[in-house]
Amino acid sequence: MPQVKIIAKNFMDMVAALPALKLDMLYDNGFICEAVLRSLPPLAKKYVLQMLYIDNSIPAKSMEEWVLAEGLSKHKNAIDRLTQLRVFLETVDRKKETSYILNPKFQSNLRKYLMYGGVSPREPMPSSVTVRLPSLEDLEAYALEQWESFLLQLISPSQADKPTNFSSSVMKVFQRGLLSQRDKEAPRLTEKGFQFLLMDTNAQLWYIIREYISNSEDRGVDSADLISFLLELSFHVAGEAYNLNTLTEVQRNTFKDLADLGLVKLQQGRKESWFIPTKLATNLSVSLSDSSSRKQGFVVVETNFRTYAYSSSKLHCEILRLFSRVEYQLPNLIVGAITKESLYSAFQNGISSEQIISFLQQNAHPRVAERTPSVPENVTDQIRLWETDLNRVEMTPAHLYDEFPSKDVFEAACDYARDNGGLLWDDSKRMRLVVKAEIHMQMREYLRRQKQ
Amino acid sequence: MASIPSKLYSDDVSLLMLLLDTNPFLWTGANTTTTSLPFPGFLTHVLSFLNSILLLNQLNQVVVIATGVNSCDYIYDSSSSLQKTADSSENGRMPILCSRLLSKLEEFVIEDERLSKDDSPEGIVSSLLSGSLSLALCYIQRVFRSGPLHPQPRILCLQGSPDGPEQYVAIMNAIFSAQRSMVPIDSCVIGAQHSAFLQQASYITGGVYLKPQLPDGLFQYLSTVFATDLLSRNFLRLPKPVGVDFRASCFCHKKTIDMGYICSVCLSIFCKHHKKCSTCGSVFGQALGDTSSTDRKRKTPET
């Protein structure tokens, strides 16, 4: 699912887009270094490790010798990423030779990691203070419930059971781009909104967090601080309790929002209060490179186009309704059918067949997920066919040329257009031709030269 | 059509099975060449290497198996140590990974020594590589069967002691089962001489065989070559095998031989003529070769 990847990566783009000074400041924190390293493509990670104990800079030329010819594009990609994130610092010497050196802060932090291993950013609170902690299952259920009620409020505010802590202005920021509202009408999901709903939880989470961070300056919170805080959060152990007093005032305010998203659970003891990170929070940095969530699927699709979704969630029902006709709903089961009409309305809303298919595949019930293909082939083929039905007419911006002075000029023009890959149609009898808009300027130039 | 559900783990999540040679004869006695590094130094390199593997990806997993002279055992598993962090973090200063691994290693070495027989060994005794390879493969099989989501496994042998020809059959069996389950065996030889077993193991399973020139820089070798995940190996230039010693050991006296006799039924190898195959029981014909041996040799040396 390309969409997911783009969004997950975008977060690191956001980090990369920070000014150099701020970025270097972020690398003071060992956890950021760790998270950034883990978000890199495999080859780039490898390079960092290789360079970790090399203090001299390495010429770009000799680096290229590390890879085979097939891997050169991957190599370039890795180096680009590393320089963007200022993990590698580029230097150009007098002979115009580029060489790279590992960012010293980054280097020293990672060396520390190698010596001491992974540590938790905070000591968990002793179990004598926190008497009853929720079990991991309870915590996960809590996280999912919070997240779903947030999503439901996001897409259809009227249906939400309980209001969240977010102010309506923050909520508006999240909805920007996902919902469109014409005056006095109920808000409608946009194309992007639909795509958002079909993404997996981690990708959705990153999208929301990205919006949250980009909005942070308006709330008077430094975005670099917020990024480092969120990345640090992901290194806590899920299910352990951590004291809230170790946080700054700003961070504590942020936590209220994070609790609404289901990232942390806040609890109040007799004297102290603490937070318990959930799986959603600890998966944050994992999902930067690995966009898939590892939750169980729930949908069974049969060859007769019927779908059985073993779920009681309202959100799942809403999502299924996007592209199928929901027929009836039992306490733990939603039965629907994929029909031509239901798909047409989905396509009209900007959902592509690939998205629907990959949603069905990613959320396949464990019983059918073992089989290949997990969604029957006749169904996937039919979904694709119905989509191509709609795309019989293809539009290409073009220009029409006519009134050529002679046959020769016309044919030369045809050949020229064909050679440039821009000829769409020609009629030799009436001496007319149509070329793509891209080569219009070239074509005009060419004809002018012919005239002289 | 690529099936999406099977791609739930990204390509570079790896499970590293590290086989650690703890042969005391290697680390104390005969190993007195100036270039080689002592055991504590060796361990520091290895521990940093383990940390670096864990650093690369949150889902990476390392398992360390100690290869002794008389026994072998799991001494560290990063997946099981996660839950028990609370109780071991009390002693404070030492990182959890190190303290757990070192204490288990000590237990193991003492136990291994206790098992040794009293008769004094001649020269360097080989360590039980076949046993630890089998342990590693068992662990990997368990991971394979745990469900569709598993990291990509590979085995790394840090071997110093010489090959034990008596383990030939067991090791070859382990190699072929690794090959069948597509598990590469990397080998890093830290001893004085090359290991024919490991050369074959890496050659057959598509792993990397390397004998570091400068053992002092072991970590750099480990991080440059052996930290590479299976996906990136397709793009990187890694050390290529220079030459592989394909010699086999005979089944009767466990000697490494250049030429020998092979049972035509079960392919068992013998260094001299027998009346009957000791493995499958087939009766051999008269040994014509005994009298006119030059043109009767069953296995010709590779020249």
Instruction: Closest CB to B3: pick one of A1, A38, A373.
Output: A373
Q: Are B186 and B180 in contact (CB under 8 A)?
A: no
**Do A105 and A35 lie in a common domain?**
yes
Give the count of beta carbons closer than 10 Å to the beta carbon of residue A202: 23
B147 → chain A, closest CA residue: A370
Q: Note the pLDDT tens digit of each residue in A57-108.
A: 888 888 888 888 888 888 888 888 888 888 888 888 878 888 888 888 888 8
Give B52-73 as a DSSP string: HHHHH-TT-EEEEEEE-SS-EE
Q: What local confidence, expressed as pLDDT, does residue B30 receive?
A: 54
Euclidean distance between CA atoms A116 and A337, whole angstroms: 56
Compute the distance between CA of residue B106 and CA of residue B98 in angstroms, rounded to an integer: 12
Query: Cβ A46–B229 below 8 Å, yes or no?
Result: yes
A124: contact with B, CB 8 A cutoff: yes
Chains A, B: CB pairs < 8 Å:
110
Interchain CB contact of B303 with A (< 8 Å): no
Is A414 within 8 Å of A425 (Cβ atoms)? no
What is the spatial distance between Cα B186 and Cα B184, in angstroms, rounded to a whole number? 6
CB atoms within 10 A of CB B73: 19
- B260 shares a domain with B190: no
Out of B10, B54, B95, name the one closest to residue A290 (CB): B10
In a domain, B4, yes or no: no
Q: What is the CATH number of the domain that holds A413?
A: 3.30.70.2610
Q: Residue B181 corresponds to which tokens in the numbers above?
A: 């389950």
Q: Which of A380, A386, A199, A197 is nearest to A301 (CA)?
A: A380
Among the listed residues A315, A314, A310, the one whose alpha carbon sits nearest the alpha carbon of residue A332? A310
Boundary (domain end) residue, out of A390, A407, A438 = A390
Question: Does the residue A125 lie in any domain?
Answer: no
Angle at A291 between CA B142 and CA A81, to 5 degrees: 115
For residue A350, tell me if it sits in a domain.
yes
Q: What is the pLDDT of residue B64?
A: 92
CA R_g for chain A: 28
User: How many residues does the structure list for chain A?
Assistant: 452
Beta bridge partners of A398: A436
**Residue-level pLDDT at B94:** 60
Half-sphere exposure of B236 (CA within 13 A, CB side): 22
Q: Who's near B117: CB < 8 A, 6+ residues apart?
A: none
Residue A213 Cα distances to A40, A173, A174, B186, B221, angstroms: 21, 11, 11, 44, 41
Residues A156 and A283 in one domain: yes
Handedness of CA A244, A248, A249, A255 (dihedral sign): negative
pLDDT of A156 strictly over 70: no
10-residue mean pLDDT series, chain B (303 residues): 39 85 75 63 88 84 89 84 46 66 87 72 74 93 81 90 84 92 91 85 90 85 88 83 80 83 87 85 70 45 45
**CB–CB of B12 and A45 under 8 A?**
yes
Residue of A nearest to B97 (CA): A117
Q: Which residues of B touch A119 (CB under 8 A)?
A: 95
CB burial of B99-110 (b: ≥16 within 10 Å; e: otherwise) equals bbbeebbeebbe
B109 with B25, same domain?
A: yes
Query: Looking at the structure, do residues A83 and A177 belong to the same domain, yes or no?
Result: no
Between A37 and B83, the higher pLDDT residue = A37
A19 touches chain B (CB under 8 A): no
User: Residue B71's domain is classified under what CATH number?
Assistant: 3.40.50.410
Which positions 22-61 of B are in contact with A (Cβ < 8 Å)? 48, 51-52, 54-59
Q: Residue B186 has what pLDDT?
A: 93
- Answer yes or no: do B172 and B277 share one domain: no
Are A172 and A239 members of one domain? Answer: yes
Q: Which of residues 67-96 of B touch A (CB under 8 A)?
A: 85-86, 95-96
- Among residues A186, A187, A161, the alpha carbon closest in space to that of A174 is found at A187
Domain that holds residue A354: 299-390
* Structure token pair of residue A141: 């259920």
| A252 shares a domain with A147 | yes
The answer to whether residues B72 and B155 belong to one domain is yes
Residue in the block written with tokens 């067991």: B170
Question: Which residue of A34, A37, A74 is in closest CB contact with B235?
Answer: A74
B278 & B184 share domain: no
Residue B5: predicted pLDDT: 34
Residue A274 shares a structural domain with residue A142:
yes
Whether B148 and A286 lie within 8 Å, measured CB to CB: no
Number of domains in chain A: 4
* pLDDT confidence band for A202 (50 / 70 / 90): confident
Same domain for B286 and B197:
no
Residue of B nearest to A45 (CA): B56
Same domain, A281 and A304: no
Question: Of A27-41, A276-290, B167-181, which range is least confident?
Answer: A276-290
Residue at B173: amino acid letter: N
Distance of CA A434 to the CA centre of its chain: 40
**CA nearest A115 in B: which residue?**
B48
Tokens 């119905």 label which residue? A386
The three-point CA angle A20-A21-A26 to 5° equals 95
For chain B, the first-to-last Cα distance in angstroms comes to 48
A295 close to B (CB below 8 A): no
Tokens for B10, please give them.
């990204």
pLDDT grade, residue A6 (50/70/90)?
A: very low
For residue A148, what are the contacts with CB-CB under 8 A and spacing of at least 6? A313, A314, A315
Taking the Cβ of residue B219 and every Cβ of chain A, the question of whether any pair is shorter than 8 Å is answered with yes
Rounded Cα distance between A392 and A120, Å, is 57
Phi first, then psi, for residue A211 (nearest 5°) are: -65, -40
Is a pLDDT exceeding 90 seen at residue A33? no
Domain boundary among A288, A314, A338: A288
- Per-residue pLDDT tens for A210-230? 788 877 777 777 777 888 888
The C-alpha atoms of residue A408 and residue A405 are separated, in whole angstroms, by 9
Contact B271, B260 (CB under 8 A): yes
Mapped onto helix, strand or coil, the DSSP state of residue A237 is: coil
Nearest residue in chain A measured CA to CA from B14? A42
pLDDT tens digits, A402-444: 888 888 888 888 888 888 888 888 888 888 889 888 888 888 8
The complex scores an ipTM of 0.78
A186 and A257: one domain?
yes
Contacts of A371 in chain B (CB under 8 A): none
Query: So what's the pLDDT on residue B298?
Result: 47
Distance (Å, whole) CA B219 – CA A207 = 39
CA–CA dist B209, A282 (Å, integer): 37
Instruction: Indicate whether B240 belongs to any domain.
Output: no
Residue listed under structure tokens 């969530």: A293
Question: Are A380 and A350 found together in one domain?
Answer: yes
C-beta atoms of B55 and A52 within 8 A: no
Q: Which residue has the higher pLDDT, B298 or A115?
A: A115
Alpha helices in A40-131 (DSSP H): 42-51, 60-64, 72-84, 104-116
Is residue B3, in this structure, part of any structural domain at all?
no
Task: Name the band, by pLDDT with cuts 50, 70 and 90, for residue A325.
Answer: very high
Residue B1 counted as domain residue: no
Nearest CA in chain B to A65: B237
Interface check A73 vs B, CB under 8 A: no
pLDDT digits (tens, 9 = 90+) for B132-156: 999 999 999 998 887 767 788 999 9
Please give the tally of structural domains in chain B. 2
CA distance A319 to A297: 14
Tokens of A294: 């590892």
Higher pLDDT residue, B167 or A252?
Answer: B167
pLDDT score at B136:
94
Closest among A295, A300, A294, A257 to A275, alpha carbons compared: A257
Q: What is the pLDDT of residues B193-214, one digit of tens each?
A: 888 889 999 999 989 999 888 8
Task: Identify the pLDDT of residue A309.
Answer: 92
Shortest CB distance from A42 goes to which of B5, B11, B220? Answer: B11
Whole-angstrom distance, CA of residue B262 vs CA of residue A233: 64
- Name the residue with higher pLDDT: A341 or A187: A341
Chain A CB contacts of B12 under 8 Å are: 42, 45
Contact A117 B234 (CB under 8 A): no
Q: Percent of chain A at pLDDT above 70?
A: 86
Q: Under an 8 A CB cutoff, do B224 and A68 touch?
A: no
Alpha carbon of A394: minimum distance to chain B alpha carbons (Å): 26
Boundary of a domain, candidates B210, B234, B258: B234
Contacts 24+ apart (CB under 8 A), B245-252: B245/B194, B245/B196, B245/B199, B245/B200, B246/B196, B246/B200, B246/B302, B247/B196, B248/B168, B249/B165, B249/B166, B249/B168, B249/B169, B251/B169, B251/B278, B251/B279, B252/B278
A289 touching B, CB under 8 A?
yes
Residue A201 — very low, low, confident or very high, per pLDDT cuts 50/70/90?
Answer: confident
B8 chain-A contacts, CB cut-off 8 A: 292, 294
